[in-house]
């Protein structure tokens, strides 16, 4: 099981996937069977990381007609289709990785995306206030998705500003 946060933290909201998995790691105790990874902008370098995984959750900024801050959860074949329309160069790499995995019959049996529409893609390390406020929700959604896949996690409130416990 892999939780993969992707994005460029140098471009404000483009780094939301990375920031969400960081918050998830800070706020939840994860079983040893779950790997949480900052995929950054690795693109095709993720091929070996993703190959043969049974379950993968990707967290990323997405292009959508919805307003900034809108959160989308997709599963299965809908995930690679979304990355065909990209907001940054790393998504082209991710689209290619998912296509290559399918071609070599090494795609995850269970693939899920938690995506959010960015508001600001300027050059800064800070998320926009709207997306920064959504980070705890994204972290809780990661926990929910893991539980749905049979990988329950425990919430810890040891970190200031830790995300809320997952909804039942």
Q: What is the mean pLDDT of residues 101-109?
A: 92
* pLDDT of amino acid 88: 57
pLDDT band at 157 (very low <50, low <70, confident <90, very high): low
Between CA 110 and CA 88 the distance in angstroms is: 25
Q: Please give the pLDDT value at position 19.
A: 98
Segment 131-138 mean pLDDT: 97
Q: What is the pLDDT of residue 160?
A: 45
**pLDDT confidence tier of residue 80, bands split at 50, 70 and 90:** confident
Residue 161 has pLDDT above 60, yes or no: no
Residue 158: band (very low, low, confident or very high) from pLDDT cuts 50, 70, 90 = low
Per-residue confidence band for 151, with pLDDT thresholds at 50, 70 and 90: very high
List pLDDT tens digits, range 40-52: 888 788 899 999 9
Sign of the torsion formed by the C-alpha atoms of 117, 120, 122 and 124:
negative
For the chain, domains (ranges, CATH) are 2-154 (3.40.50.1450)
> Which residues contact residue 163 at a Cβ distance below 8 angstroms, ignoring those fewer than 6 apart?
23, 24, 27, 28, 135, 136, 137, 139, 140, 143, 155
């Amino acid at each position: 099981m892999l939780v993969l946060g992707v994005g460029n933290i140098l471009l404000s909201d483009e780094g939301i996937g990375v920031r969400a998995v960081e918050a998830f790691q800070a706020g939840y105790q994860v079983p040893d069977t779950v790997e949480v990874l900052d995929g950054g902008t690795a693109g095709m370098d993720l091929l070996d990381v993703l190959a043969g995984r049974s379950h993968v959750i990707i967290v990323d900024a997405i292009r959508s007609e919805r307003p900034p801050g809108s959160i989308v959860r997709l599963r299965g074949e809908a995930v690679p289709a979304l990355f065909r329309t990209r907001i940054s160069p790393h998504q082209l790499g991710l689209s290619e990785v998912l296509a290559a995995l399918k071609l070599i019959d090494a795609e995850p049996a269970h693939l899920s995306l938690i995506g959010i529409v960015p508001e600001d893609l300027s050059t800064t390390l800070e998320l926009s206030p709207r997306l920064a406020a959504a980070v705890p929700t994204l972290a809780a959604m990661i926990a929910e998705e893991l539980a749905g896949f049979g990988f329950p996690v425990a919430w810890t409130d040891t970190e200031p500003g830790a995300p809320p416990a997952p909804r039942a």
